[in-house]
Structure 1
């Protein structure tokens, strides 16, 4: 299906190449329709309503953190969203511990952005540096398995490190840069995998490179429910409780904190940039810019024509940057160009071909939803 024959949503920029997409009588897709309906309570809240909700959260965080060294955890990647959360936490009088997970793929730009931010704000930074040989072996296993979500490794470890640090300091709040305005569009089925599937990581690592999780910080379904319901640690999308316009925020970060932007969402990591900009489109036929830019368009933060124009080019700042990142990837993974081409040519394999926690996660979340429904009656 070439670009000219694709049906493109009349409201956002998702198109008929996206799995399970449907269009209504006026040409709007189910993805942005679902997003606008599900997140209306966030997108349509007035500034006064958001301010009251934020004040209540800040009071709760301060109360829970009394007498402790910190009162909350803020995970920072070097991206705009998490950077702004850290700024606002300090402005609101909170005492955050900034937590960063270094998997060996940080761009120099991301490291500089984080360093400038924490130094200017005067907050403590905890950086967990993953054991590179172990992480590299797990990555190789995921490549050998031909599964889609290689970023499951980073996302799972990042979540684990944040929850572990919260538990260590007895904190109840993880204030995250996740938010509806810039990433509330539902992820198409098959575009990623359950980020709490520790069993999948263990099984793939063991099968393909005989790698056990020795130092890798991981979190599974039961771990998550223990952190959430026994230790009472909440993951809060705090940006939903305040006006958040990414363009205005980026300008302020640049002016006050020497922040330097990235061309696309999550491109602060060299591997994420190469994964989203090359591996996903080339091997799996997935361009996540449709989701990221489409969410900004649907929430009114980006002009649709500008987003469509962005999609016309490659998902990279330039061909030169792509070639540079390709060479960096090959060297860091110890691959040849021929190995990369062989990997790209092999057909994708579903994650659940290998042992997985997916059914356990679905059962646990359905049970929790049913219990909450009973309590609300």
Structure 2
């Protein structure tokens, strides 16, 4: 398995740099001596302190430049391309969250559709070596065939968030075809780890527990037919993206889409029990969540399960981190960051 190593002479433009994946990817690139330009609008969808904490860790790197701005502002994007002339673009800026898209659709169209269009236009007029962008496992909708494969039919999204991600794939395909923009889409499956997103279930469970509140489990209390999720640890995700950056699609297939997941789904209840054990270890006392079981939420899907054969063939991607190890790292970080006794 051979893949090109990262080129540290190139300039990397990362959108959503104060976000969970954007932060970790930028840090990895900067540690290797790459030049990174980051943009983020620092919106208040979740705790701003967390976003500022991530940014503070990137600021000491002298090859890091930060622009506070929104990718849905075309002038901001064009100015960055004209000033910094990025070689490789990683679009991770997006309004995330399936459930929030039901309440607040406007921000999804603004960021995920118009914002991504602006990135594609900039790559068209200022040609780049490679555009890597975030898609999502949610494009598979209520697909019953598992594991999900890139060749599966994905025309039945069950949330607006999923629709915006599917539209990103179609837009990127068109720009690759018409304007030779080498593009790779990554269908992320549930990504977790230290400094993660507070709107994700595992983070929310920890918050609820330490606030003395019960956690809501959206599986009807049906353990026989529990939800399955393909949980992928952040370090594994970053290795996969990093390997792809220098491996642009070929001219005959200028656009590719890959699953990037763990290929080993866990039952939701097993994940919850593992988190309880990890928090017990981190705090030195037994942690047991009070649980309230509720029906599955609109827009949620019963199972996410990635086939990662294609990405493995392309760049040797194979996640190494077990949920026990990954959740322990999260629990240790959480108790330290929030000074939990």
Greater fraction of residues in strand: 2
Please give the TM-score of this superposition, normalised by the length of structure 2: 0.39
Greater fraction of residues in helix: 1
Bigger-Rg structure (1/2)? 1
